[in-house]
Amino acid sequence: MDKLFVQRLNALHYVYPKPLNRLSKLMADDEELEKLSRRSVLELAFLLNVKEQQAHDLKKAYTEALDIPFESLYRKYKITPISFLHPHYPKSLLELIDPPAILYAKGRTELLLVPQKIAVIGSRKASSYSRKAMDTILPVLTQHEFLIVSGLAKGADAMAHEIAINSGGETIAVAGSGFLHPYPKENMALNIIIEEKFLSITEYPPYMQPKRWNFPMRNRIISGLSCGVLVTEAQVKSGTLSTIEHALDHGKDVFAVPGDIFSGLSEGPHKLISEGAKPVWNGDQILDEYRQLRAEK
């Protein structure tokens, strides 16, 4: 990629960290963003569908950001920006309505190219039942070179990453904040291990703090990276099930662990099973599903 284009895209995303679909009109007649600094405020407001004042502020901030040495800045923090044109950018994310324009990565970016990825999700209040279920299911998957994707949140996410690592597998964490503001603090040690030995990614520039609305957006990336999604414990109304909605919208396989009928955390998986998700209680069931799919192809 042209270095000037990379600098312009980094500058734009730094001041306007929006998905690729929000930039499509802007880039329709200007794929290299060469015209951006010369566009009028009115034109910018129209193309980005924002108010004039916001367009004015954005143009000013963008012009100033063009002077930021992003390459050396990100290298200092061991961050690799992966734009939608980068060879390590997962093609499956381009199937989303709103693909990330840039993924910021820390760790082994080649893990994004692993074809067999399973997302593992569940409640932040997951009980020991989730850990027992994952201890039974995930080692079988990692032994067959499935990579485990999750969101680095408390509860089920942290369990999924830990069990993937402890079973000798690979894992990708999808964060809901910029790398200068790791979240949650409780998972700091796990976060460091993933950044150093595996891969952590986020669509948010380093300065972005964790905001409540970041996490539903984060969920579409977890689903988009994966060929299937495994749900352990989750309430019916939860962010976990919003990830499943993204998965179903894009034809992903959905697996759910049956649970205690007296537990509110079993209601989410049981609802999914009643709607067609495949109930699973060991890793071989998931492996068999993919063996069957490969055989049909």
Tell me the per-residue pLDDT of 3-25, one tens digit each, with 9 for 90 and over: 999 999 999 999 999 999 999 99
Q: What is the pTM of this model?
A: 0.95
- HEC string of 202-265 equals ECCCCCCCCCCCHHHHHHHHHHHHCCEEEECCCCCCCHHHHHHHHHHHCCCEEEECCCCCCCHH
Alpha-helical runs (H) found in the chain:
3-15, 24-28, 41-48, 52-65, 70-76, 128-143, 156-166, 188-197, 214-225, 239-249, 267-274, 283-296
Weakly modelled stretches of the chain, pLDDT under 70 = 1, 293-297
Query: What is the four-CA torsion angle of 254, 111, 193, 79, rounded to 10 degrees?
Result: -120
**Is there a cis peptide before residue 184, judged by omega within 30 degrees of 0?**
yes
Handedness of CA 151, 153, 159, 162 (dihedral sign): positive
pLDDT value at position 295? 58
Q: Which two tokens stand for residue 244?
A: 């499943």
Contact call for residues 163 and 134 (beta carbons, < 8 A): yes
267-to-143, 167, 259, 270, 294 alpha-carbon distances in Å: 30, 29, 8, 5, 32
The Cα–Cα gap between 153 and 176 comes to 9
DSSP single-letter state for residue 2: -
pLDDT value at position 263? 94
Handedness of CA 237, 241, 243, 245 (dihedral sign): negative
The Cα–Cα gap between 172 and 113 comes to 11
Q: Which two tokens stand for residue 97?
A: 């309505």
Tell me the per-residue pLDDT of 266-281, one tens digit each, with 9 for 90 and over: 999 999 999 999 999 9
The Cα–Cα gap between 104 and 13 comes to 11
The Cα–Cα gap between 218 and 157 comes to 13
- The one-letter amino acid at 228: G
pLDDT value at position 293? 63
Q: Which two tokens stand for residue 67?
A: 């002077």
pLDDT value at position 239? 73
Contact call for residues 230 and 130 (beta carbons, < 8 A): no
What angle do the packed helices 128-143 and 156-166 form, to 10 degrees?
40
pLDDT value at position 65? 98
| Run of H or E including 29 | none
